[in-house]
Chain A
């Protein structure tokens, strides 16, 4: 859905004025080209203080779009009908772009995690209000994935999940709605978002992984516990995926996402199939990327990036290790549960054969207690898994996405470098030509060279801008990611500890019930 566009004619020299800027902002949400109505896209360089995140719907990072800090503008544009992804003329319906949201400097306070778009807002809201809203975690959209149903039969069967959205954000037409989606739809959404945002430095949450074995079992219709577990695992993963995606303020604005959540029919994302043409292309690209990564030697001028990359490497390793341990715990707890159940049965038998009545009764009670404890263990194992282990694997994949973003930055730098080199070559060629002092018929060639040089100069500037842009974006994204990470981990771990507490409480109850029985053995 990326709207392809010509790069704005750079160097137009039109000074950036706020009006245009605002127009650009307006366009942001309707994924419309800035260029249609404004002749120039404000250059980021001229708004030095501004934290502009390039959030384009296409591979053109020059789209100057204000980031989420300028909520009031967004609010204004929320009313745009988003169903038409085509370009739309500027929302001139908006009240005067005299929504000069103050001067850029005041707006800069990077509200990286502002996610509140709670109400259709009036423009002249005071700065404080906006800040407050952004500050509090009023994140007014809730997504649930539920009711997995098997649709169809045989190898063409698939599981359909109900995606329910509850929101008071005005960008959606209703406040509560649900649609049916299948797994490949989720993958399709992810690939669309990734193609739009990854290369400009946004950390797009990765979608859950495919599993051929699991799905086949489900398709074949095996109604055993492992396939129900598989479906449940997948459902939970999809829910977490969507929740993460909508938490991202930029991605939330994306029309693809909205279409995914809202529209009842979605074109089948065939490209996500592993064996499709697109799939193979993806694999080839991945391989090429890996090779490139090894060959690109980047001059890292910014220590921050190096530091962060190192950090993420370490974090990745640690998380993997932790993940392994937690998986072992899950496994052992399941084992414990099974063994406890076996013991319970055995104790019951023993109780039966014991001829001393009180002891026999006590043993049977013991058997019952152990059976209940076995249930407890099972539940605890589920908790272990769904809370802890899945969190870790999610983050391991997220970190892979983060690393990918860093790689994109490298590629961007590479492009810039290449442009610079080419420009140099062209300049040299021109210089040579000048010196040669040939007759006029070469004039054309000279003109050509001149043009090429201009072109490459522009490309160099573009490259530089892109690079700076992506660097800025990454910084912000990483900051946001870290905050999210901290919150996520804290929440989940606390929830997990609570589950441990509950287990202990139950244990206490059971043993307290058993104790008098044991004491009653005469």
Chain B
């Protein structure tokens, strides 16, 4: 599984691809396989290399790659949202914008403060920040990939023309980011939508299933939001604590090298210990981040998408009911009856179509959710255990010979805290 505790960055080696695992049903399907094979981070953009393998006839080749940027993903997502045909489906949530600002700032500050710290400290901090940067990078790649995979796995969405263009067209899609005016429009649209949503949600649904889903989703969404935020904060404090270990380790190291008494050896060893501890703690916090925080964040977005679906359905229900009323009125007045009839029928069809697919989508959503939570929670627990047990032992192993183990009790199962206890025994006797 995980390699030894080498320096940081690799901690996302296998588990990072785990974001994919959040959507467990994304079995690689020979018909259409999408992944992001490479990514490049330039000044303020990230360029993803989207790689497709497909046996579908629509594509010119069986395997090809294009380079895409974040805005193009957003464009694709929005095109789904705006497409009426897809109203009955949960649109996979758009990947969040790659945000390296915080990391970049920190790296900059580090560069500025280079003069004020010792060389070891500087290299250590630099490594730390680089690892952080790399982690964020990997995460954003994973999230974009998940989006594409979800679309590719969806039986209807995968046939979307825009999607094919996105995958295949190897020129720039000339999708510019929304300018201010469009952003403002979007903003208003959202406001209208949420107001509407409130109105629409007032309408009681005949169907129990949907009624239940609505209440459930509403509550769930809020709570996931809360949990996600708190989990974020928790992993962040965990990381700061781990960082502190780093500084303590450096200070102890300095003490050890400057001290004249025989305690200096002791200090050096303890400083090593803190360094290793920090690595473990950093990994723990990274894993928590990945397994818990990211999971929650993803489901925050998904539950929002599900809510949107419900909204669309309710909207169409309201439209349907309004069309009914209009039809009745028209029939009563005997004016424009045909028109009213057609519009009513359209609404009816739309509503039923949406309802049908929505039901399936919501059931799928639940299955996916449960599976994803299960997988991630299990992995979280396993990782925590692994860190607490083997992680401590792994750095302990090289440390023990250095401490000249006096009592060499051959222990069969050394992969345990037993080792740390041995270490302590040695430290104790090392007076």
Contacts and interface: CB of A to CB of B under 8 A. Distances in A.
Contacts of A494: 424, 427-428
B69 interface: no
B237 A336 contact: yes
Interface in B291-326: none
A345 B244 CA distance: 27
Nearest to A489: B263
Interface in B231-284: 231, 233-234, 236-238, 240-241, 244-245, 247-248, 251-252, 254-255, 258-263, 266-267, 270, 273, 277
A99 interface: no
A482 interface: yes
A362 B373 contact: yes
A355 B273 CA distance: 45
Given A349-B223, A349-B227, A359 B381 contact: no
Contacts of A353: 216, 219-220, 223
A138 to B, nearest CB: 16
Given A333-B241, A335-B237, A497-B427, A350 B258 contact: no
Contacts of A349: 223, 226-227
A127 interface: no
Interface residues of A, number: 58
B366 interface: yes
A505 B259 contact: no
A359 B373 contact: yes
Interface in A118-164: none
A230 interface: no
B275 to A, nearest CB: 13
B385 interface: yes
A325 B251 contact: yes
A279 B241 CA distance: 41
Contacts of A329: 241, 244-245, 248
Contacts of B261: 482, 485-486
Contacts of A343: 227, 230-231, 233-234
A521 B373 contact: yes
A342 interface: yes
Interface string A338-350: 0110110111011
Contact of B216 (A339, A355, A497): A355
Interface in A470-522: 482, 485-487, 489-490, 493-494, 497-498, 500-501, 504-505, 507-508, 511-512, 514-515, 518-519, 521-522
B134 interface: no
Contacts of B262: 486
A425 interface: no
B330 interface: no
B421 A501 contact: yes
Most buried by B among A343, A363, A485, A507: A343
A505 B417 contact: yes
A170 B378 CA distance: 63
A485 B264 CA distance: 12
A311 interface: yes
A521 B381 CA distance: 14
A505 B378 CA distance: 19
Contacts of B384: 507, 511
Nearest to B241: A332
B378 A328 contact: no
B263 A500 contact: no
Given A314-B258, A359-B374, A511 B381 contact: yes
Contacts of B417: 501, 504-505, 508
Contact of A346 (B223, B388, B427): B223
Contact of B388 (A314, A490, A511): A511
A326 B244 CA distance: 7
A318 B247 CA distance: 12
Most buried by B among A321, A346, A486, A508: A346
A358 B367 CA distance: 12
Contacts of A314: 258
Given A339-B237, A353-B220, A346 B226 contact: yes
B230 A346 contact: yes
Most buried by B among A333, A336, A342: A336
A482 B277 CA distance: 28
A315 B231 contact: no
Interface string B399-421: 00000000000000000010011
B263 A521 contact: no
A293 interface: no
B244 A332 contact: yes
A350 B248 contact: no
B185 interface: no
Contacts of B270: 493, 497
A482 B377 CA distance: 51
A179 to B, nearest CB: 34
A366 interface: yes
A356 interface: yes
A503 B28 CA distance: 42
A136 to B, nearest CB: 13
A336 B427 contact: no
Nearest to B263: A486
Contact of B424 (A328, A498, A504): A498
A500 B391 CA distance: 14
A354 interface: yes
Contact of A518 (B245, B377, B424, B431): B377
Interface string A296-310: 000000000000000
Nearest to B212: A355
B227 A346 contact: yes
Given A321-B251, A501-B417, A354 B220 contact: yes
Contact of B258 (A318, A336, A355, A485): A318
Contacts of B254: 318, 321
Contacts of B234: 336, 339-340, 342-343
Nearest to A345: B230
A231 interface: no
Contacts of A321: 251, 254
Contacts of A340: 234
Contacts of B424: 494, 497-498, 501
Contacts of A518: 374, 377-378, 380-381
A346 B220 CA distance: 11
B389 interface: yes
A513 to B, nearest CB: 9
A498 B380 CA distance: 25
B392 interface: yes
A326 B255 CA distance: 14
Contact of B251 (A318, A487, A500, A501): A318
6 contacts: A359-B370, A490-B431, A497-B420, A501-B420, A504-B392, A518-B380
Given A350-B220, A350-B224, A359-B370, 12 more contacts: A318-B258, A335-B240, A353-B220, A362-B373, A493-B270, A498-B424, A507-B384, A508-B389, A514-B381, A515-B378, A515-B382, A518-B380
8 nearest A-B pairs in the assembled complex, by CB-CB distance:
A329-B244, A521-B374, A322-B251, A336-B237, A518-B377, A343-B230, A325-B247, A339-B234
